[in-house]
Amino acid sequence: MLKRKIDSVLMNWKKEHGDECLLVNGARQIGKTFSIRQFGKKHYKAFYEINFIESPMMATAFDKALDSETVIKLLGLRIPGFKIIDGNTLIFLDEIQQCPNARTALKFLATDHRFDVIASGSLITLMSQDVPSLPVGYEKEIMMYPLSFEEYLWARGYDENVASIMSEALTDPSMLDKGLISQYNSLLLDYMMVGGMPGVVKTSLESSSWEDVRAEQENILRLNLQDIEKYSKGSDRERIRLALYSVVGQAGDGKKAFSYAKIERGRSRARDYMPAVEWLVKAQIIYPSSSLTRVDIPLSMYMEEGTSRFYLYDIGMFFSMVSNNSTLLRNTILADNRKGAAKGTFYEALAADLLHKAGHELYYYDIPQKMEIDFIIETDEALLPIEVKSGNNRATSLSKLLTMSDIPRGLKMTESSCGKADKITTLPLFMAAFL
C-alpha cells in the first residue's frame, strides 16, 4: 500500500472540519479513491462509498429535496444495511462531478453532525458550471496530485522523515556528500521516467520489465484522451487533443511562453485555442507557470496575460509521451549521457514537477537577451528565484536579479554541485522537492 501525504490531511480534516464537507479534486488515476476508501474503513465504524460512474442510479437519491433528512432517507432505500452511527459514519461521494445535485447537497449535509462527508472527482473544476448552487462555505476543497518525489521515496522504502532531514541541507549544503548526491540523483532519474501515477509506481516496484511500466503509462494516456472525447464538445475535441500534444512538444523548443500559433502551424490563432488550453488546465492535465511583468509581492498581481508556460501534470507521463517508447533514450538517461538542450528540457520539466507537487504556484521572469529566471516561488519568508542548470554553468541572470533587488537569496539547481556564494545557494535538483 502506497503511503500518501493526503493521509495526514484527511486526519486533520476529521478532527477540525466543523460545518464543512471535504472535496478532493485532482486528475484521474492519481489515487484519490483508494486513499479516501482506506481512510474511511480505518477511522469510521460505518463507511459508505457511492461512485456516481459505477452506480449512476444512485444519483436519483439527489433528485428530490436536498435537505439532509431526505437525502439520508433515500440513500437508506438504495444501500443495503445503511445505518448512521452518530459521530462515527463517513459517506464518500466519489466522481461527484457526475451528479451536480450531490455537490449542491453538500451545503445541507455539512451541517448534519451525525456523519462526515467526503466527495472527490477528476473533472470537478471543468464541470462546476453544471452545479445548480455551489456549496460556498460548506466545503473545503483540496488538490491532490500524483506521487511527489518524496512519496516516491516512501514507496521505495525510504524513511518518512526524509523531508525534514533534507530540509536541514537547505541551510547547510555541506550535509550533502558526494555519495548521497549520487544516490539521490539516481533515484531522481528513475522518478523522472516512472513518475508519480500510483498504478505506474506500483508496476515499477513489482515488475522488472520496463515494457510493463510503459504499458501502464500508455493506458493512462488513453484514459485522458477518452475524457477529452467524452467531456468536450464537437470541434473542441480535436483542438484540445492538439493542444495537449503541443504542450508536450513545445517543452523542448527553448522558449518560455507557450505559442498557440505552433499548435497547428499556419492555422491556429490564440483566440481559437485558448479555450482548449484552459480546458486542459481545468481538467488538471496541465498546469501553468505564469510570466511576470515585475518580480515583487504578491507575484499573482504581476502576472502577464497570454504568456504562460505549461507543463504536463506528471513527469513520468511527460517522459512517456516525449520518449515515444525509445529504449535508447531511457538507457542514455540512465547512463547520464544526455547532454545539451535536450537534457535541459527534461531538467526544466522535472524541476517544475518537484515544485508543483510540493504545493508551489509557479512563475517565471524573462526579459529577452537580458534576464531569464526559470522559476520564482513565493515562500512564507520571501520570494525565491530559482535557476535550473543541466550542467554547472554560471547563474548569470540570477546574480543580476539578486543584485538589483532586495530578495535575500536565490537557488541555483544543478546535477551535483553544493555550496554558497554571496546570495546564491547551489543545490542538486532533487532538493527542489523539499523546499
Q: Is residue 191 part of a domain?
A: yes
Residue range 318-328, pLDDT digits in tens: 999 988 777 77
Same structural domain, 267 and 358: yes
Same structural domain, 42 and 168: no
Q: Measure the CA–CA gap between 137 and 116, rounded to whole angstroms.
A: 16
Same structural domain, 118 and 220: no
pLDDT score for 235: 78
Q: Measure the CA–CA gap between 335 and 384, rounded to whole angstroms.
A: 32
The number of C-alpha atoms within 13 Å of 392 and in the hemisphere containing its C-beta is 8
Cell of 235: 470541434
Residue range 143-169, pLDDT digits in tens: 999 999 999 999 999 988 888 888 888
Q: Which among 120, 113, 216, 186 is positioned nearest to 335, based on CA atoms?
A: 186
pLDDT score for 332: 73
Q: Which of 143, 164, 194 is the last residue of a domain?
A: 143
Q: Is residue 251 part of a domain?
A: yes
Q: Which of 108, 143, 178 is the last residue of a domain?
A: 143
Same structural domain, 234 and 373: yes
Q: Is residue 288 part of a domain?
A: yes
Cell of 397: 541572470
pLDDT score for 133: 92
Residue 268 has pLDDT above 70, yes or no: no
Q: Which of 121, 143, 165 is the last residue of a domain?
A: 143
Residue range 231-252, pLDDT digits in tens: 988 879 999 999 999 999 998 6
For residue 87, what is the domain's CATH number? 3.40.50.300
Residue range 23-67, pLDDT digits in tens: 999 999 999 999 999 999 999 999 999 999 999 999 999 999 999
Same structural domain, 161 and 139: no
Same structural domain, 229 and 178: yes
Q: Is residue 238 part of a domain?
A: yes
Q: Measure the CA–CA gap between 19 and 84, rounded to whole angstroms.
A: 18
Q: Is residue 162 part of a domain?
A: yes
Same structural domain, 184 and 139: no
Q: Is residue 1 part of a domain?
A: no
Residue range 74-98, pLDDT digits in tens: 999 999 999 999 999 999 999 999 9
CB-CB neighbours of 427 under 10 Å? 25
Kindly report the backbone phi and psi dihedral angles of residue 207, in degrees, each rounded to the nearest multiple of 5, phi listed first: -125, 140
The mean per-residue pLDDT over the stretch 250-262 comes to: 81
Same structural domain, 428 and 280: yes
Contact 47, 92 (CB under 8 A): yes
Mean pLDDT, all residues of the chain: 91
Same structural domain, 19 and 79: yes
Residue 335 has pLDDT above 70, yes or no: no
Which of 110-119, 123-132, 274-283 has the weakest average pLDDT?
Answer: 123-132
Same structural domain, 267 and 332: yes
Q: Measure the CA–CA gap between 435 and 430, rounded to whole angstroms.
A: 10
pLDDT score for 169: 83
pLDDT grade, residue 407 (50/70/90)?
very high
CB-CB neighbours of 410 under 10 Å? 24
Residue 254 has pLDDT above 80, yes or no: no
SS3 225: helix
Please tell me the total number of residues recorded for the chain in this structure. Answer: 435
pLDDT grade, residue 343 (50/70/90)?
low
- Quick one: what percent of the chain has pLDDT higher than 90? 73
Q: Is residue 382 part of a domain?
A: yes
Q: How many domains does the chain have?
A: 2
The mean per-residue pLDDT over the stretch 363-382 comes to: 91
Q: Is residue 322 part of a domain?
A: yes
pLDDT score for 8: 96
Q: Which secondary structure element, helix H or strand E, spans residue 372, and what is its range?
A: strand 371-378
Same structural domain, 275 and 375: yes
pLDDT score for 429: 94
Same structural domain, 80 and 188: no
Domain containing residue 347: 152-434
